[in-house]
Amino acid sequence: MVAVQHEKGGRARIMDAARALFGSNGFHQTSMAQLATSAQVSVGQIYRLFKGKEDVIEALVQADADAWTVTMQALRKQLDAGALTIEQTFEQMLLHTTEEKDEALSFDILAEAFRNDAVRQTIGELCAGFRTTLREFACVANRDLTGEALDAAEEMLLACMFGFGHRSLSRPRLSAPVAAHRAAQMIVAGLKAVR
């Protein structure tokens, strides 16, 4: 039992160190030795827990996907319970994307997805889960959405999530809460206007 807990703790330390190092130095610029030193483990332990850096980045993507799934499910439950309006749901969703602190890491992961099929597949599965929930949210805003209009709503909402998650480089004029609030208003108004 102690060995299993030690391995779980080592895995968590490696992932935390990778998140910090990959975000500041870049994925390809971070050596396994740097990762081991930062995680306070041996390089051998990294290789016992992960096949290589690609597995580490895949584990980061999976951890983020799992966390996002929990967030989206919680929003859906609040919406279904009447605790949030659809506008508040979109606002909370967009605001959550701006709270992600690993913007540089996110760009590095997206770049790695073009080179690494496992990372690409994990991101695709994450987005597939988002797409289902986003379609449901769009239909709450406008029950008449179907076909191509619903497909377009799904694409637009996913693009908003990606865009809000990477807005710091665009020199935004609005604070994240104000931008999320106004965007949510516009999203709901736009969805309601589609016939």
Model confidence pLDDT, tens digit, residues 49-70:
999 888 898 899 889 888 888 9
The mean pLDDT value of the chain amounts to: 89
- One-letter amino acid for residue 135 of the chain: R
What would the two tokens of residue 32 be? 């396994």
Whether the model pTM is above 0.75: yes
Q: Report pLDDT for 6.
A: 52
pLDDT at residue 102 in the model: 75
pLDDT of residue 4 exceeding 70: no
Distance of CA 31 to the CA centre of its chain: 25
pLDDT band, residue 2 (cuts 50/70/90):
very low
Encoding tokens for residue 80? 């279904």
